[in-house]
Structure 1
């Protein structure tokens, strides 16, 4: 949902004490559903923590009934904002309205001390957020760079057309143009991709019931205009420049007397401060990052010509010409990756982690898939059953973790600890209780569960608070606690995490740095993680969720009498997927059963493990999947400039070589790879050679479906049905046509269904 524009930013300029603000921008004439508004606010705060300021921006034309949602009925509108105190609205809520000139007027709340700076930063932050969230900065990869219409070379360029996607965001930019619309009869845009912006301004004027003759909108091609046309712009026109990194186009228009300064507005500027100061009255949003605007983008280097361009001469990258703000397309370069056991592909901690937490059976597992506690609508791709781990910590197989945990407790829990605050899940509570049992009994501790008003239970003015979490991925709740604890500044905070599982090392460093920040360096807060592993944090559209939807649709087409074998197979599989909450995730039914009803299992000498003391009976499917998923996730999060990387760009597509399925020929490994990878990684239609090899591989395993070579055939068919594994259409249909002739009922039936939908 994007009915409203909601964003957060940090204010470092409008007051002596920095603060964070959440802004909700409402451009509509009428809000048709308070529940829909409340739900969209709730979704935003599922990913973001509460802030010191909550700013609502409304239009003066908003109808009276909708206004009540923010005044009389605001408790219902903001009911799902987490962690708000009883006086939060009185202290933090600001309601502004904007008029037909785009000016903001405070309607509710305590007026900011420097309101002009406050509003200016709010508008700048919102406009920058729109730019960043929608990919306004296009970055090249090592194989290419860009040539601007001014003939400058650079590895990046600004494309304002990318950001004009959602109506509420377009209107947020448009209100900043309202004051420039007086007595304008025509508007000239330097690219047609921003034409939507003046039309949004016209719509705002209509909503304000202004009487005006609608201006005409024209497009021109920025620098090409200087070569093709010699005329000046009409005196009553407005000239919109989509973006600039220097302001040179403004200088040239002025120097050649094509228009007056007051006629020109640059939507986005990113460049040196002295250039910005020269054109400050002509810039809607200055994107440039500085000491007081950390949200911004860093300046990037440009070269005046090809002979001076280091990207051409040193990096040997290919120049791509930009026309207006559109680049001339070329066929993407396809990089084909074969997984290897080197450290580049296989970080050592993966094997060590599995060895430390393996369950030695199909039913006694810490590492699972497809489960999340306390959330009926989401399930982690990878789930660590930390509650099971703590309950069984005396078991010899978990002895190494127990040693590490006890050592961290002894070393890091301060003697002056007064409180232990644990996250609201079973495992965090068990970890908190374990910590209490291990520290000296004469310490008087109070255990507190993280709830809405937890802070009211913290009455001591000094001492330490241990924040305990069994597992964290994004640290959202820890950041929320940190913010709320600012009112107890004499309480020392210590973060104690059982398993820290960020998506990447870069994310991990940024989160820990944010959590550690105190009043000053002496107040830096300890962050302890007993174990850390970088792995997938996906919890929506996982392969099992997509599989469930796929088979639910397919089951409706299968006759339970004439196709009983196929019907029972699908129904049994759906039963497993639907009961994932009861089983606290999947361990031994992660993948589809083979055509003969047997489960996929791991054979000896798994290339990505450094241990060999296992049999097919003491390794779970989830542990194998976790290993492959973590390898793929690490590659996906490698910087595009590094090798290997599975990141995608418009010019470079990274795919997994079909040879991976020859090299890793255990069906369970092939199935893990298919489920862990994104569709981008299996887009073989992009490369003729890879397409042919994958087609031949699929035909071979169809022929050998009843041998070890074909044991993962049903997983391959599912990947095709989910449109994850993609060949050229004619080749895909040829493969499925042959699979339909298979003598096995399951393979033939599933192939037939997929053939009819691809």
Structure 2
């Protein structure tokens, strides 16, 4: 169970926007001082930036423990040290907020200045509501019907939306948070007088029960099962409360009021908008971004019938997506022309300048030597750089200093005065460095999802004496997704004025989730299991023979820590001419194409497929239909390295063929051909397929997987110890 729930909020004061980190501490945070501070530090580590203020919500009865733990000097001083940087304390205040008797009570835990961040009851109420909204977003309570479909609600209403309130709390801490919010934010409910609480579904029983317990209420909780028994629900003579799990139209609350129920005694947990004339609404989705993009019903859709809180449409076969020209990334070729062959580091190579080993990374020299990039840089500075900018800040990554120097030279030549612009390396900057600055440009050669840029932005805001023009300039962006890049831009450009900061980037190439790198870790874990294996799951392979196979498997995995698995002959996988996404640009030097070139390209293609606007071509599942990479892809992209890159860059759900008998059987037949032809080009990716099967990333129906392993091992025998080793490890447990 997680012991802390955390989220970021904002507060405007005197025309300036302040970052607030909010945390709700769950039960395990109160075991001792170490647990208490560990929970706070976890929230702080996951904050977008060092916050201006920290607010800790404390459940009733724990405030004394909270204040006692807070006074632990050693842990206290260590935690406060995390709030400072370069002898500047970023966090101005920390408050503890006790949720007691349905109210928020504020305790001051720490302030660092004579004019601290002032907190009002309205602020902590608004922040708590913000936390509920973010929880609704995080736990995906709102489901949007896929293209061409609508939801048919139990009331008979047709809608593009369905709200699943039971998903609002996924952990014990989240349950406590929602229940306390229910009790504290819903006013005019005297819990001690309530005799019966009516709920429309058992899915929200735990939330209502927790809210009642915290209030000391012993009322009976009865479910009237949505519209099925609503007509049989009579107006009770004793005090009552009716809790509606969710609403998109207010219909159930309206029916209740028409039958004599009081609106002040009706609460809707989640609604698409506030309806004060019908009920209290705890979470108003119109205050979130969840309703954006919801289309209207045109009457030609297929209905997905809802049965209570369940879908009756889950039997729909998975959607198959075949990769092709429509999935070609917009900037892939532009980046490859400058970085392919010589400019993409080998897989998992350590980059000393940043002290990390990213799966895929670009070489700075290729960016600095790119004529197209230099032309873009000069044009961008000429057209977009404010004349008031006199300070250049660059990230300490071994790649950005050259670009920073170019920006510095441009400012110097453009200004025409004797004053030289300032150049600073982050994080080696402080308040004194920016004392007289009139504008700042932040330069970085490469950026992922922008964690470092966020921190630079946070530091500048702290060090600048007033809000001055700022410009973020990035060479190449390699984020996980378009969405994460958009969030980065929105974070960086906002400030305390109505104007936005400037944001410039040459090329952006989303590469998909970070878990691509996980496949190397999974193989290492597989090797460790093989090292400890002492038996054979098949009678046809003796224990001694199995031991040789497991040893060969471990050796191959060890040799491929920084590459794809080789073919069964021990040779590296390579690309041949005609790769559709290269547009014949590299056919004349195809032997020089590296594995990292190919993996980067395929990862970008798959991420483009996940974000495709056409639902039929989009490699993104819904709650009503899974989506998989069609088996046809492995015939279309029949180069061994392309098949391997698809396996590595895919999400496990995209390779799960176990939900459909036909697809599972189709993949079983294809894999059998690959395994039995492992000595020939058609089967050169056999170890990658077998590895994906063994670690559970590629899934078949259990009976198909068992049949595949038995039949393949019988055919291969001792011809390839390593392939047999992978297949033995892939054998399903009976």
Aligned mates of 1:33, 1:93 — CA distance in 2: 20
Counterpart of 2:102?
101
Per the alignment, residue 195 of structure 1 pairs with: 205
**Alignment pair present for 1:269 and 2:271:** yes
Q: Which runs of 5+ in 1 are unaligned?
A: 303-309, 578-585
Classify 1:249/1:463 alpha carbon distance in 2 versus 1 (closer, same or farther; 3 Å): same
Match of 1:592 among 565, 570, 575: 565
Q: Mean alpha-carbon deviation: is it higher for 3-12 or for 658-667?
A: 3-12
Distance 1:423 1:483, change over 3 A: same
The alpha-carbon distance between structure 1 residues 158 and 375, as it changes in their structure 2 partners (threshold 3 A), is farther
Change in CA separation of 1:76 and 1:624 when aligned onto 2, cut-off 3 Å: same
Cα 1:116/1:606, change in 2 over 3 Å: same
Q: CA 1:288/1:754 → structure 2, altered by over 3 Å: closer, same or farther?
A: same
Distance 1:698 1:255, change over 3 A: same
Q: Contact between 1:124 and 1:286, CA under 8 Å: does it hold in 2?
A: no
Q: Counterpart of 1:215?
A: 219
1:327 matched to 2:311 = yes
Q: What SS does the corresponding residue of 1:625 show, helix, strand or coil? A: helix
Quote how far apart the aligned CAs of 1:616 are: 4.8
Correspondences of 1:674-693 after superposition (within 5 Å): 674-693=647-666
Structure 1 CA distance for aligned equivalents of residues 290 and 353 of structure 2: 35
Q: Aligned residues, how many?
A: 704
Distance between the aligned counterparts of 1:277 and 1:372, measured in 2? 58
* C-alpha contact 1:144 1:317 (8 A) present in aligned 2: yes
- Give the counterpart of 1:628 among 602, 619, 628: 602
| Segment drifting more, 179-188 vs 623-632 | 179-188
**Residues 40 and 474 of structure 1: CA distance in aligned 2, closer, same or farther (over 3 Å):** farther
- Name the residue aligned to 2:177: 172
Q: Distance between the aligned counterparts of 2:532 and 2:437, measured in 1?
A: 63
Residues 307-338 of structure 1, C-alpha deviation per residue, up to 9 Å, x if partnerless? xxx44x3xx32212334433334412432222
State how far apart, in whole Å, the 2-side matches of 1:113 and 1:457 are: 27
Identify the match of residue 678 of structure 2 among 705, 729, 737: 705
Q: Deviations over 1:406-464 (max 9, x none)?
A: 6656666666654322224233345435655777597634433333x834243433433
**Change beyond 3 A, Cα 1:16–1:184:** farther
CA distance in 2, matches of 1:43, 1:358: 40
State how far apart, in whole Å, the 1-side matches of 2:383 and 2:301 are.
52
> Match of 1:241?
244
Please name the residue that 1:552 is paired with. 528
**Cα displacement string for residues 71-108 of structure 1 (whole angstroms, at most 9, x for unaligned residues):** 5544434554586974445x332222121334433444
Please report how far the alpha carbon of residue 600 of structure 1 lies from its aligned counterpart in structure 2 after TM superposition.
0.8
Any idea what the Cα deviations from partners look like across 1:257-300, whole Å, max 9, x if unmatched?
2x4344322222223x5xx23146x22233323xxxx5674596
Evaluate the alpha carbon distance shift between residue 230 and residue 161 of structure 1 in structure 2; reply closer, same or farther with a 3 A threshold.
Answer: closer
Change in CA separation of 1:230 and 1:502 when aligned onto 2, cut-off 3 Å: closer
Task: Check the 8 A contact 1:184/1:238 in 2, yes or no.
Answer: yes
Question: In the superposition, relative to structure 1, how do residues 217 and 551 fare at CA in structure 2: closer, same or farther (>3 Å)?
Answer: same
The alignment partner of 2:348 has SS state of: strand
1:398-413 aligned within 5 A: 398-401=370-373, 404-405=376-377, 408=380
Q: Does 1:137 align with 2:135?
A: no
Q: Gaps (5+ residues) in structure 2? A: 536-542
The match for 1:465 is 440
Structure-2 residue corresponding to 1:583? none
CA distance in 2, matches of 1:525, 1:423: 18
Q: 1:130: how far off?
A: 1.3
Matched, 1:226 2:230: yes
Q: Is the 8 A contact 2:29 2:39 kept in 1?
A: no
- Label 1:706 to 1:177 Cα distance change in 2 as closer, same or farther (>3 A): closer
Closer, same or farther: CA 530–82 of 1 in aligned 2, 3 Å:
farther
Measure how far apart 1:543 and its partner are.
1.8
What CA RMSD, in Å, does the superposition of the two structures yield over aligned residues? 3.5
Confirm or deny that 1:9 pairs with 2:9: yes
Aligned to 2:540: none
Q: Does 1:637 align with 2:616?
A: no
Query: 2:281 — aligned with what?
Result: 283
Corresponding residue of 1:574: 558
Describe the SS at the equivalent of 2:235.
Answer: coil
1:58 aligns to 2:58 (yes or no)? yes
CA distance in 1, matches of 2:28, 2:706: 50
Task: Go from structure 1 to structure 2 and tell me whether the alpha carbon gap of 1:443 and 1:15 turns closer, same or farther (over 3 Å shift).
Answer: closer
1:479 to 442, 445, 454: 454
Q: Deviations over 1:211-262 (max 9, x none)?
A: x6x33222112322233x15223523322111223433223223212x4344
Distance change in 2, residues 1:88/1:620 (3 Å): closer
Distance 1:567 1:433, change over 3 A: farther
**1:120 deviation in Å?**
2.8
Q: Report which stretch shifted further, 318-327 or 722-731.
A: 318-327
Residues 1:669 and 1:300: Cα distance change in structure 2 (over 3 Å): closer
Find the counterpart in structure 2 of residue 580 from structure 1.
none
Cα contact 1:380–1:540 (8 A) shared by 2: no
Distance 1:432 1:36 in 2: 44
